[in-house]
């Protein structure tokens, strides 16, 4: 039984198979319309969602399957039923589950029961679906993944962690610029060490974007961090992706954002609008890569 809890669940050839398959779906949205015939998949949310919810819903539907949207606070899970008991019950009704959760450990508990395939739609530690869509976007633009540099500006969060794991397969150079006190997660550090992956770490974002082919940013205040909003906005203010920062990068650099964007904070209106054709293609590619993930999770590719 296959699970996608993080990108290290994939083999290197599987990683690239997913990227190429995602591009095939982008070029032919009606491809393989019966892949999930007679399969029912739950989409379980502990956090709000736009792109994950819509892309998985449409992906399952266009592959011929059935989806069921569930919210944790509407289940007995929200009243104390264990994640183990909930998973066993769901496995009696469903063929698979995508979960967007506060806890990577919860995902691992579900997957370790091995009673239905589990897809990580976002956790506190990883966002593999997003990173796959991002690498697919870059790959589809014709940029050689093993010869480019991605400069991530902001907190080393779940998206950054997944981009790092993906770079182990692609050989992409990764740099990050972040304030003091925001360190790479110990688990990710151990993976980096295990695979002898070097990460460029800067405090000054102008240093990070030198020789970068891609500048990547994300919100300063993630879901669940609202109480820290004002402090975070102050700390990260020097890390805004704006026209001034772009002057320190190559002329042909592109800017990416996983959305939602807080315009005027981590990215200015001017830069967001300049690179909107890429950023919204990223968002669309979530649909196409989700289809490839679903085929993979059920052993169809």
| DSSP H/E element including 255 | strand 254-257
Which residue of the set 3, 21, 130, 178 is catalytic? 130
What's the pLDDT tens digit per position in 191-210? 999 999 999 999 999 999 99
pLDDT for the residue numbered 124: 95
% of the chain beyond a pLDDT of 70: 98
Active site residue 129: no
How many angstroms separate the CA atoms of 161 and 185, rounded? 8
Q: What is the pLDDT of residue 75?
A: 85
Domains 7-127+286-297 and 130-282 share a fold: yes
**What CA–CA distance (Å, rounded) separates 64 from 36?**
5
At 297, the pLDDT band (50, 70, 90 cuts) reads very high
Torsion on CA atoms 58, 63, 65, 71, rounded to nearest 10: -30
Q: Which of 6, 178, 257, 258 is catalytic?
A: 258
Tell me if residue 45 falls in helix, strand or coil: strand
pLDDT at 79: 76
Spatial separation of the C-alpha atoms in residues 97 and 289, rounded to whole Å? 16
What integer pLDDT is reported at residue 226 of this predicted model? 67
What pLDDT does 293 receive? 98
Tell me what percent of the residues of the chain surpass a pLDDT of 90.
Answer: 91
The catalytic position among 6, 21, 127, 185 is 127
Q: What is the mean pLDDT of the chain?
A: 96
7-127+286-297 has which fold? Rossmann fold (3.40.50)
Band the pLDDT of 87: cuts 50, 70, 90. Answer: very high
Name the token pair of 265.
Answer: 């904070």
What own/partner pairs with CB < 8 Å and gap ≥ 24 does 189-196 have?
A: 191/8, 191/164, 191/165, 192/164, 195/168
Which of 100, 185, 232, 257 is flagged as catalytic?
100
pLDDT tens digit sequence for 90-121? 999 999 999 999 999 999 999 999 999 999 99
3-state secondary structure of 245: helix
Burial of 64 (0-12, 13-18, 19+ CB in 10 A): middle
**CA–CA dist 269, 262 (Å, integer):** 9
**Residue 232 above 90 pLDDT?**
no
User: Domain segments of the chain: what residues?
Assistant: 7-127+286-297, 130-282
Please state the rounded mean pLDDT for residues 182-189: 96
Tell me how far apart the alpha carbons of residues 116 and 3 are, in angstroms, rounded to a whole number: 9
Average the pLDDT over each of 80-89, 207-216, 227-236 and give the range with the smallest value. Answer: 227-236
- 95 belongs to the catalytic site: no
> The domain 130-282: what is its CATH number?
3.40.50.1370
Instruction: Please compute, for residue 93, the number of CA atoms within 13 A of its CA located in the half-sphere on the CB side.
Output: 10
Concerning whether 130 is annotated as a catalytic residue, the answer is yes
**Residue 258 known to be catalytic:** yes
Contact assessment for residue 288 and residue 26, using Cβ atoms and an 8 Å cutoff: yes
Question: Looking at residue 241, what DSSP letter applies?
Answer: B
Is 127 a catalytic site residue? yes
Q: Is the pLDDT of residue 2 over 90?
A: yes
State the catalytic residue, choosing from 21, 185, 232, 286.
286
Q: Give pLDDT, residue 236.
A: 96
Q: Which position among 124, 185, 218, 282 bears the catalytic label? A: 218
The answer to whether the beta carbons of residues 112 and 88 sit under 8 Å apart is: no
Tell me if residue 286 is catalytic. yes
Q: Tell me the C-alpha distance between 149 and 209, whole Å.
A: 9
């Amino acid at each position: 039984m296959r699970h996608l809890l993080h990108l290290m669940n994939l083999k290197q050839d599987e990683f690239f198979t997913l990227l190429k398959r995602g591009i095939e779906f982008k070029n032919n949205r009606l491809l393989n319309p019966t892949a999930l015939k007679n399969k029912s998949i739950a989409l379980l949310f502990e956090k709000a969602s736009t792109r994950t919810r819509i892309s998985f819903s449409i992906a399952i539907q266009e592959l011929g399957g059935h989806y069921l949207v569930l919210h944790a606070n509407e289940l007995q899970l929200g009243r104390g039923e264990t994640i183990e008991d909930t998973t066993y019950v769901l496995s009696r009704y469903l063929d698979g589950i995508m979960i967007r959760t506060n806890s990577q450990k919860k995902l691992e508990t579900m997957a370790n029961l091995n009673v239905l395939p589990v897809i990580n739609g976002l956790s506190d530690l990883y966002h593999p679906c997003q990173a796959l869509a991002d690498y697919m976007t870059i790959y589809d633009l014709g940029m050689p993944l093993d010869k480019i540099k991605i400069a991530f500006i902001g907190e080393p969060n779940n998206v950054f962690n997944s981009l790092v794991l993906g770079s182990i397969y692609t050989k992409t150079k990764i740099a990050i610029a972040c304030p003091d006190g925001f360190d790479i997660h110990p688990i990710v550090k151990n993976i980096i060490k295990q695979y002898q992956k070097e990460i460029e770490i800067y405090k000054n974002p102008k240093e990070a974007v030198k020789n970068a082919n891609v500048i990547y940013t994300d919100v300063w205040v993630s879901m669940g961090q609202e109480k820290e909003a004002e402090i975070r906005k102050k700390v990260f203010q020097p890390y805004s992706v704006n026209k001034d920062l772009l002057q320190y990068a190559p002329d042909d650099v592109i800017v990416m954002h996983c959305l939602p964007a807080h315009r005027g904070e981590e990215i200015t209106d001017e830069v967001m609008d300049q690179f909107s054709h890429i950023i919204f293609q990223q968002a669309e590619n979530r649909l196409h890569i989700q289809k490839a993930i679903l085929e993979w999770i059920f052993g169809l590719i």
